[in-house]
Amino acid sequence: MHKFSLAFSPCPNDCFIFDALIHKRIETDDFEFTVHLEDVETLNHGAMEGKYDVTKLSYAAFPFCSENYQWLTAGSALGAKCGPLLVSKNNHNWNEVDSLRIAIPGEMTTANFLLSLAKPNAKNKTEVLFSDIEDAVLQNRFDAGLIIHENRFTYEQKGLKKIRDLGDWWEETYSSPIPLGGIAIRRNLDEKIKKAINRLIRESVEFAFAHPEESMPFVRAHSQAMDEKVMKQHIDLYVNKYSLDLGEVGKNAIGKMYTIAETNQVIHKIVRPLFVE
């Protein structure tokens, strides 16, 4: 029996992706997984500590733990029109961003990476749990908030207004899909095991696409009383063909992100292979 720790977020897209694997709706051979659910920035910090064998990770955080982890090609959140949003309560505009107090979902999130690229002089940033950012802006504790996940479907009805969609900014600037988060695995595991786990995750996604209602009890259990329509919008936005397999387009988008980060001296050059092939 092969036993591994598996960590991902309680968000609908991750629960949808991993439901079939962890509840053995697919054949898992002799693999067993101990599951840990954490918000994405907690997962990022966990990867810095080498805490889990297999973990969800922000693409922007990976360069800081690339010696110990490698990307799988299944399970990713990557695509178009799915980026983080910068929102405000008081009609602030894009030209004012440098002077605003901004709540971010974590220093190592891809959301903050994109904001840092787009607005390098916006320095007044504070880390806030992603699910608390909307309320923090509504309570005037911050001038703006960088929202991710399901919050993009709820901010308008709460009275917040979009300053900029950073996914749109990325796509317009670099003509590439936007890499948000993926699944990383320990480099020191046997190559056959890494490939087998990658295959199991892909099969879990395939099962979820073929039987979408099967995963909904698990999704609902971790949705924090989210409206069912929002849950399904969330899944539809973040789980797509790149979640099955990055393919060359997805891999190139991720490579481009790291090249841009190196050029802007945000990260050091990653010298080890990025992907489990």
SS3 268: coil
3-state secondary structure of 250: helix
Query: What integer pLDDT is reported at residue 223 of this predicted model?
Result: 84
pTM: 0.93
* Annotated active-site residue in 149, 211, 234, 268: 149
For residue 234, indicate whether it is catalytic: no
Q: Which two tokens stand for residue 274?
A: 């990025």
**Predicted local distance difference test score (pLDDT) of residue 225:** 62
Confidence at residue 159, expressed as pLDDT on a 0 to 100 scale: 95
**HSE (side-chain half, CA atoms, 13 Å) at 252:** 7
Which burial class, exposed, middle or buried, applies to 3 when counting CB atoms under 10 A from its CB (0-12, 13-18, 19+)? exposed
- What is 2-78+179-263's CATH number? 3.40.190.10
What is the CATH T-level fold of the domain 85-174, as seen in this structure? Answer: D-Maltodextrin-Binding Protein; domain 2 (3.40.190)
What pLDDT digit, counting tens, does each position of 97-110 carry? 999 999 999 999 99
pLDDT of residue 187: 97
Q: Which ranges in the chain are annotated with CATH 3.40.190.10?
A: 2-78+179-263, 85-174
Q: Which residues in the chain show pLDDT less than 50? A: none
